[in-house]
Amino acid sequence: MNKEALTLIKQVAKTGETDLDLSEYGLKKLPDSLFELSHLKCLSVNDNQLTDLPAEIAELSNLRNLDISDNQLLTLPPELAKLSHLETLYVENNNLAMLGPSIAKLSNLRSLNLNGNKLIVLPAKMAQLAKLKELDLSYNRLISMPPEIVHLPQLRNLDLSGNPLINIVSN
């Protein structure tokens, strides 16, 4: 475990700071002590070597912004859906091949970046993300897309570039 990262976590625990940046520490897993920081509002763990997010991510119940970009994530844990205050989620440049339906439970999500993954399809339940304003799905492997997502009421920016889209699926 990276000693500098552990020191930073201890410092944030002591000071009560609400933002923590653990980017570029070469982390292969998140330290257990991180999940004691339930007061955190912003967490960046981008550009590490994470292959999964543990279920304990749900302990960070006050998170508003989470950046897990530029890792090696294959899936997102269903427990992520317990982050009910989450407004911004960056998961770009990972290895996600699918999203579980639990993503739809992030009811306060305003910005979702899934650029540069391996997504082929999206769960239709994503249409429940009524507050979503920005959705970046560029450079995935999407061949079709549920039309409900395109018609999200608040959606202002939708990036589908770099996908082999054939059509928008209708039910």
Q: Which tens digit of pLDDT belongs to each residue from 94-130? A: 999 999 899 999 999 999 999 999 999 999 899 999 9
Per-residue pLDDT tens over the stretch 3-62? 999 999 999 999 999 999 999 999 999 999 999 999 999 999 999 999 999 999 999 999
| pTM of the predicted model as reported, rounded to 2 decimal places | 0.94
Q: What amino acid occupies position 82?
A: K
- The pLDDT assigned to 1 comes to 62
- The pLDDT assigned to 168 comes to 66
- The pLDDT assigned to 144 comes to 87
Q: Is the pLDDT reported for residue 169 higher than 60?
A: no
Helix (H, G, I), strand (E, B) or coil at 7: helix
Token pair in block for residue 83:
């982050």
Domain edges within the chain? 1-73+80-93, 96-171
1-73+80-93: CATH number: 3.80.10.10
For 123-147, the DSSP string reads -GGGGG-TT--EEE--SS--SEE-H
- The pLDDT assigned to 147 comes to 85
Assess contact for 81 and 105: CB atoms under 8 A. yes
CATH fold of 96-171 reads 3.80.10
Same fold, 1-73+80-93 and 96-171: yes
